[in-house]
Amino acid sequence: MHLLHLLMHWLRKYFDFYVFSNLHVSFAVFSLTKLTLVMYNITENTLPWFTFFSTLLSYNFIRLYKLFDIQHWMNQFVRKYRKVLIFLMIASLGSCFYLLFQIQLKAIIVLIPFTFFTFFYVLPINFSRRTPVTLRAISFIKLFLIAFSWAGVTVLFPLANYHKNIGLDESLIFAQRFLFVVAITLPFDIRDVDFDDATLKTIPQVLGVIYAKRFGILCLMLFVGMEFFKTLTDSFGFREHLMIATLVLIFLMRANKDQNKYYSAFLVESIPIVWLLLHLIIN
């Protein structure tokens, strides 16, 4: 019994590290990038791994930089594993640098604005000699900035690397990815509605939790509806998007301010991974 208790303790410890060191969210971005590639029957993994390591680097940089602006339990976690997180950042930076030489220049150029968004998400910019502000602090922009960045990195970046023209289908995939990320980010904003600074004006802060969920439902309806306008869509594509939208809807409707710390950080963040697996199974 003592050994079982000890084993569970260590499993919980490693699981916590996996989730809260941003490894899990990095696999989510990996999955969305891989999903874009397999839609075009491209099997290589250089770009998915690049987005994995760049996400691990940027998210941990943001967390360390904003150490005093995060919730107490997360602050304690970061302080406890500070050296390990810094090591992960250094390893991720080295991996990104190595993989960068295997990526087309056109794709790197496409990546630049999204790198800018990430960098100045927490670092202040001085607009016209006024008080410096971060992009995150601009009212109402936080959620849409995250969604735009994720969509750009996981759709436009891989398409540019393989010289895919941005036509109707590609534009719709980008829009769907944007709407998908908006919908899966809402449970996080609902969780933090009382913790986030009121000046951020997140969707739940402005509309309230109930109307924020209705906004998410609208995003999911558009996410599925856009599938009808694709030139290469089929019943499998529609069914896949409908299943993913239903899964997101379930988690969105059950989200609340007092949710378990694993609810959004692990369960909701697992949906991109589930989407990739579902796509591979269906196709």
- CATH number, domain containing residue 124: 1.10.600
What is the value of pTM for the model shown? 0.92
Q: What does the buried/exposed string (b/e) look like for 40-75 if buried means 16 or more CB atoms within 10 Å of the residue's CB?
A: eebeeeebbbbbbbbbbbbbbbbbeeeeeebeeeee
Residue 13: inside a domain? no
Residue 139: inside a domain? yes
How many residues does the structure list for the chain?
Answer: 283
Residue 89: inside a domain? yes
Q: Total domain count for the chain?
A: 1
Residue 146: inside a domain? yes
CB-based contacts of 242, cutoff 8 Å, min separation 6: 224
Residue 216: inside a domain? yes
pLDDT digits (tens, 9 = 90+) for 123-178: 666 555 566 666 666 667 888 888 999 999 999 999 999 999 899 999 999 999 99
Residue 21: inside a domain? no
* Residue 15 · residue 267 · CB < 8 Å: no
pLDDT digits (tens, 9 = 90+) for 240-272: 999 999 999 999 999 999 899 999 999 999 999
Residue 207: inside a domain? yes
pLDDT digits (tens, 9 = 90+) for 108-125: 999 998 888 777 666 666
Residue 15: inside a domain? no
What whole-number distance in Å separates Cα of residue 247 and Cα of residue 252? Answer: 9
Ramachandran region, residue 163 (left: φ > 0; alpha: ψ -120 to 50; beta: rest): left
Containing structural domain, residue 169? 26-282
